[in-house]
Structure 1
Amino acid sequence: MNESTVTAAAAQALAVAGQGPAYLPPFAQARLGTMGIELELMVLDRLTYDLLPAAPDILQLLEQQDKRWVATPEITTSMLEVATSILDNYQQALAELEDIRHRVERAAFAVGAVISGGGAHPFQQWRDQRIYPKARYRESARKFGYLAKLFTVFGMHVHIGVPSGDEAVRLCAWRTQRAPLFIALSANSPCWQGENSGFCSARSNVVGAFPMSGTMPAHIRSWQQFEQHFARLAALGIVTSVKDFYWDVRPKPESGTIELRVLDTPLHPSFAAALACYARALCVEASRPPERWPVDDGLNCTPGTASTPPATASLAPGSIRRRAPRAASPRRCCAMAARPAG
């Protein structure tokens, strides 16, 4: 790693933590169709199935292991994030996700916890959550107030490699158009704060509360225009890094990817791998032919236009969303989700 790379990484870290000036790294090239998967996981008490603030202890155990993937903290201490290495196909994805599950489960068991997927814990209370002691999350709590603790929800993010910034912007537009499809396919969070939310994905509505959620503006049609948009918002003090965009799909310049962010965390590695590969396949399909953009035909709308609803609207009354069963028991749902799969 040369000096310029170290300097760029340091500038990025300071910007993300809110401790330095805004910074947007140049877009790194990646091979089209490579992918990476991030999963936000619940840390549960083994007896009560309530959220347990044991993520720091689990992460400490995982740091001692030699592994291809990484585990990092999330905004509250009852959740953690795992991220795979660069993957090429379903078999690689499934094998690595199974390895992640087994290792994280063992580490959690050692501290009296269990790990679960799912988009939202069914009966936790947001007031009880603790902000993870990390500069970025403390800054989020300062900036967003109670929303920071409310953001104890759990999603799956799929990164797809793209060869250039311009192509990343174009493919973000295509993936944004398909975001409701992935919400519907992954929705598994019907309960929220001990109540039947009436939605199959309560998580999606929580994410929508953040000021910078939604979709990439439709006027952005190149990486240069994205840079200009970022610079305008940075000058106003609204953003300091790409992580401040809570869009359904956003570019990730430092890794040369676009990031699909609308999925609830699946309950099994095989489902996570399948969803990631489906997102990858649609991305590769949209890359051929190049230069083609989504067209507003009244059904598939160009992202950001007035006729385009936010992705969460796909689960709103009167659309494709399906109401959760009234008899759903939050505690039973949580216990079943935490049970190791066969």
Structure 2
Amino acid sequence: MSPSAIDSHIAHRSAPQCVRARARGDERDASPLFVTVRDRGPEPGALSARLPGPNGTWHRGHGVAVLSNGLVGQWVSGTSDRRHGLARAVGAGCRTEFEQSRSTGMDPAPPSDAPRTTTDAIHISGGHMSIRTVGVEEEFHIVDRRTGRLTPAGTELLAELPAVGFTGEAKEASIETNSEPHLELADLRADLIRSRTLLAEAAEKIGVAVIASGTAPSMELTDSPQAAGERYAAIKRDYALVADEQVVCGLHVHVGVEDRDVAARAMSWISPHLPTLLALSASSPYWLGVDTGYASWRNMLWQRWPSAGPADDFASAREYDDMLEGMVRSGVILDLGMHYQDLRLSSHVPTIEMRICDACPDVDTSVLIALLFRALVQRGVRAAENGEQPRRHSQAWLRAATWRAARSGLEGLLIDPTTMATDSARVVVWQLIEELMPDLVASGDLAFVRTVARRLLEEGSSAARQLRLKDPSPRAAVELLRAQTLTFPDFPGAFPKPQGSATPNPTTAVPTRTADSSTLVA
């Protein structure tokens, strides 16, 4: 079902806690709907819903209405443009009517600088809302505690860590953690905090420290030699300076998708939004001790690989596999592990993997990006399953959007993937959250996402914060990154997942970790 605009109108009563909204859709389309009702009020309410026609009886519930025909309604607090009484609704299906009344317990709405198009509204989208597993890989630089420079202690540090959940990297001055796959954001966050804590404790034993950032602010290329092994030696031989200068750390996110054909088709729905995630992660303004003028210099270094950059459009997994096998046969890449595009299908487990982001010093930024990516995947998978066609974006435009995000971070303009025009980072980020609202509500992630996104937009990207220090320097940036990498604030947001609004995908394989792999494997 292709979403279509439908008319809606909101009339506010005298009591600010109460709003009534009506929407009229095309009754000829009986596709299932997921409904999100948003009001300017800061508190959730008991939501009642009525759909005329067969099985149109309704039930009341605290914040949630589960209808007898399988539809689910969820009321959440949203942004509003107080100058307008008209609202926007997306979708089609049948007439709907919702009434939200007084209750308590919701976190405040986002700030007024969110996009003005997000008026009080009803949002409707077709398809079953299923929650998919998400796993995270975080890479860390190893630095000397005294000088702040990179130090080649990867092998020694790895020997101090548990056999599962930690792996070495191509460079001796870096190391990687691998989370378990999770359904709940609290479990994912706890997993990342545990890994960071264990890593820091092991680093202290051998007299080093770890930092999470795209590049190390204070370093020389000789500080991080290539790791031992025939494969790494072959990469160094074939790719020369490109390989020598890959002293970078990233954040990789896996989301479970069991059907590879669907996953391949879903990639086209996801790719246009990845530059926004890059901007949220940007943490690498320095290279070899110099301010590059970029928020993510890591991305600029990474784009030089022949297999890097935005993913192509694929009609099937076979088409995707043919492309990879051709690149290996040509000798352009040594093996499938050298497929470095921003988005790829895992060769080990049924997941879509995102690789565009810098490593994030703030653990909640890592979780935020993982949750947004999961929502993007879930939306893309539903569209692919329904046979919908995405708007096509050329490789040139996607590369331009990625460059813009790497240059600006959250401090300048980004390219809006819906218009391919520039807009402020604040508008583009809030618009993405708005578009993903149904999935974020269904998974119980919305309050966390809004809280962390609001903080990031207020404080700025990691790159900007490194350069805003009182006496900015590579050494001072290292100290800031060391502290942030091991700072774990109280859990942001506290809005529970609505009961009955979504279920875990029962057919998604839950991958596990092994001690000898840097990716999630079956």
Partner of 1:242: 336
Q: Contact 1:165 / 1:253 at 8 angstroms: preserved in 2?
A: no
Q: Secondary structure at the match of 1:61?
A: coil
Within the candidate set 141, 145, 150, 1:51 is matched to 150
Match for 1:341: what amino acid? T
Deviations 1:138-161 (A, max 9, x none): 221122112222111110000111
The amino acid of 2:403's aligned partner reads T
Matched, 1:39 2:185: no
- 2:405 pairs, out of 314, 321, 327, with 314
Cα 1:319–1:270 change in 2 (3 A) is closer
What TM-score do the two structures reach when normalised by structure 2? Answer: 0.54
Asked whether the equivalents of residues 160 and 259 of structure 1 are also in contact (C-alpha less than 8 Å), the reply is yes
Q: How does 1:87-106 map to 2 (within 5 A)?
A: 87-106=182-201
Unpaired runs of 5+ in structure 2?
1-129, 415-424, 426-460, 489-522
Deviation by residue 1:63-113 (Cα, 9 ceiling, x = unmatched): 46xxxx511111110000111111112101111111101111110001100
Give secondary structure in 2 for the equivalent of 1:130: coil
Asked whether the equivalents of residues 309 and 399 of structure 2 are also in contact (C-alpha less than 8 Å), the reply is no
% identical aligned pairs: 25
Q: Does 1:336 align with 2:480?
A: yes
Alpha-carbon distance in 1 for matches of 2:337, 2:389 = 25
Of 232, 235, 248, 2:326 maps to: 232
Hey, what's the Cα distance between the residues in 2 that align with 1:168 and 1:308? 19
Between 1:32-41 and 1:227-236, the stretch displaced more is: 227-236
Q: How does 1:147-166 map to 2 (within 5 A)?
A: 147-166=242-261
Q: Does the CA contact (< 8 Å) of 1:75 and 1:148 recur in 2? A: no
> How far has the Cα of 1:222 moved from its partner?
0.9
d(CA) in 2 for partners of 1:204, 1:144 = 17
The residue that corresponds to 1:61 in the other structure is: 160
The one-letter code of the counterpart of 2:355 is R
- Aligned residue runs from structure 1 range 249-268, under 5 A: 249-268=343-362
Q: Normalized per residue, which structure has more strand? A: 2
Counterpart CA distance in 2 for 1:288 and 1:236 is 35
In structure 1, how many angstroms separate the alpha carbons of the residues matched to 2:159 and 2:185?
29
Shift of 1:313: 3.9
What aligned pairs does 1:2-17 form with structure 2 within 5 A after superposition?
none
Which has the larger displacement, 103-112 or 237-246? 237-246
CA–CA separation in structure 2 for the residues paired with 1:102 and 1:314: 30
The partner residue of 2:224 within 116, 119, 129 is 129
Q: Whole-Å Cα distance in 1 between the matches of residues 331 and 196 of structure 2?
A: 39
Instruction: Determine whether 1:175 maps to 2:265.
Output: no
When structure 1 is superposed on structure 2, of 247-256 and 165-174 the one drifting more is: 165-174
Distance 1:86 1:257, change over 3 A: same
Quote the residue 2:388 is aligned against: 292
Matched residue type, 2:351: T
Q: Could you state the TM-score of these two structures normalised by the residue count of structure 1?
A: 0.82
Distance 1:233 1:94 in 2: 37
**Count of residues in correspondence between the two structures:** 301
The CA RMSD over aligned residues, in Å, is: 2.2
Whole-angstrom distance in 1 between the partners of 2:325 and 2:212: 37
SS at match of 1:288: helix
Residue 132 of structure 1 deviates from its aligned partner by 0.6
Q: Give the deviation of 1:314 after TM superposition.
A: 3.1
Tell which deviates more after alignment, 109-118 or 238-247: 238-247
Tell me if the contact between 1:171 and 1:287 (Cα under 8 Å) persists in the aligned partners: yes
Alignment-derived partner of residue 188 in structure 1: 283
Letter of the structure 2 residue corresponding to residue 315 of structure 1: A
Cα offset, 1:335, TM superposition? 1.1
Q: Whose radius of gyration is greater, 1 or 2?
A: 2
Question: Quick check: 232-241 or 47-56, which moved more?
Answer: 232-241
Gaps of 5+ in 1: 1-30
The higher-RCO structure (CA 8 Å, 6+ apart) is 1
Displacement after TM superposition at 1:286 (Å): 2.1
Displacement after TM superposition at 1:115 (Å): 1.1
Give 1:168 deviation, angstroms.
1.7
